Amino acid sequence: MVNREVQAHDTVVRFGNAAVGGDKFAVIAGPCSVESEEQLMAVAEVVKKHGAVALRGGAYKPRTSPYDFQGMGIEGLKLLHKANQQLGLPTVSEVMEVGQVDSMCEYVDCLQIGARNMQNYALLKAVGESKKPVLLKRGLSATIEELLLAAEYIYDAGNPNIILCERGIRTYETATRNTLDLNAVAYLKQRTHLPVVVDPSHGTGVRELVIPLSRAAAAVGADGIIVESHLNPCEALSDGHQALTGPMFEQLMQELKPFVEAA
């Protein structure tokens, strides 16, 4: 169902005022994790001011180490809801378990399936039944075909509002956190009608590489990016080293202007 042979025109996924797919390049931005009201509101204002169409922020965090910050949980979801109410920025947040789907739907506008859960078929079915827009990230070692089949699970459960996300894959390279597979973006744009976004933050793991890879994502034909930003990255509770500072986010939006403003 996600193949172009089934539907020739591009799917546009809408939530709040955000539209992903179609002519404009959509920038979704915000912190890796929701950490506090002050932190979230401050960064949300900055990304909104410079043209982000949606706010990201994790409340349930899939951390490699069980000793690292695991997220604020429901309190984080409430803060995302508040940020949306105050700023009119729709929100994207990761759902990690079937049992979280209902409460996530109450508080956020788009459900993120993280890389580690791309093949959690019970979760894919549950978000499919929810009808909320879904941002589906490619698994760390998943093939493009496996990503498309994961999307098919969501579609088949009744939810066609799916955004695919290339977030870098595991390779032998260790200089960067992951290897951003821009081939996948070009390939997916031919193969499927679903919108495709790039996550240059997890794709590189290095703040200084995020702007160049964002430009590359736009150039290769992605429908947008999802990017981590933090006003005080040294103090971030997760992924600070890959977060854009406020001035860097402004610079990013400046460089993406021709794509963001396309008719």
| Binding interface with Mn ion (CB under 5 A) | 32, 239
Least distance from ligand PEP to the Cβ atom of residue 180, Å: 11
* Pairing of β 18-20 and β 13-15: antiparallel
The CB-side HSE value for 218 (13 A sphere, CA atoms) comes to 20
Structure tokens at 65: 């180490």
Q: Applying CB under 6 A, which part among 8-16, 66-74, 82-90, 113-121 lies near ligand PEP?
A: 113-121
114 binds, among ligand PEP, Mn ion, none (CB under 5 to 8 A by kind): ligand PEP
167 binds, among Mn ion, ligand PEP, none (CB under 5 to 8 A by kind): ligand PEP
Residue linked to tokens 């390279």: 173
Q: Does residue 32 bind ligand PEP (CB under 6 A)?
A: yes
Segment 53-82, which members bind ligand PEP (CB under 6 A)?
58, 62
Least distance from Mn ion to the Cβ atom of residue 202, Å: 6
137 binds, among ligand PEP, Mn ion, none (CB under 5 to 8 A by kind): ligand PEP
Of 48, 50, 132, 167, which one interacts with ligand PEP (CB under 6 A)?
A: 167
Q: Does residue 197 bind ligand PEP (CB under 6 A)?
A: no
193 binds, among Mn ion, ligand PEP, none (CB under 5 to 8 A by kind): none
Least distance from ligand PEP to the Cβ atom of residue 262, Å: 26
Q: Does residue 115 bind ligand PEP (CB under 6 A)?
A: yes
Pick between residue 48 and residue 167 the one whose CB is nearest to ligand PEP: 167
Indicate the residue whose CB is closest to ligand PEP.
114
Least distance from ligand PEP to the Cβ atom of residue 137, Å: 4
Pick between residue 5 and residue 39 the one whose CB is nearest to ligand PEP: 39
The DSSP result for 34-62, as a single string, is: ---HHHHHHHHHHHHHTT-SEEE-BSS--
For ligand PEP, what does the binding mask look like between residues 204 and 243, x meaning CB under 6 A?
----------------------------------------
Q: Distance of CA 2 to CAs 23, 25, 149, Å?
A: 19, 21, 9
What residues make contact with ligand PEP under the rule CB under 6 A? 32, 58, 62, 114-116, 137, 167, 199, 202
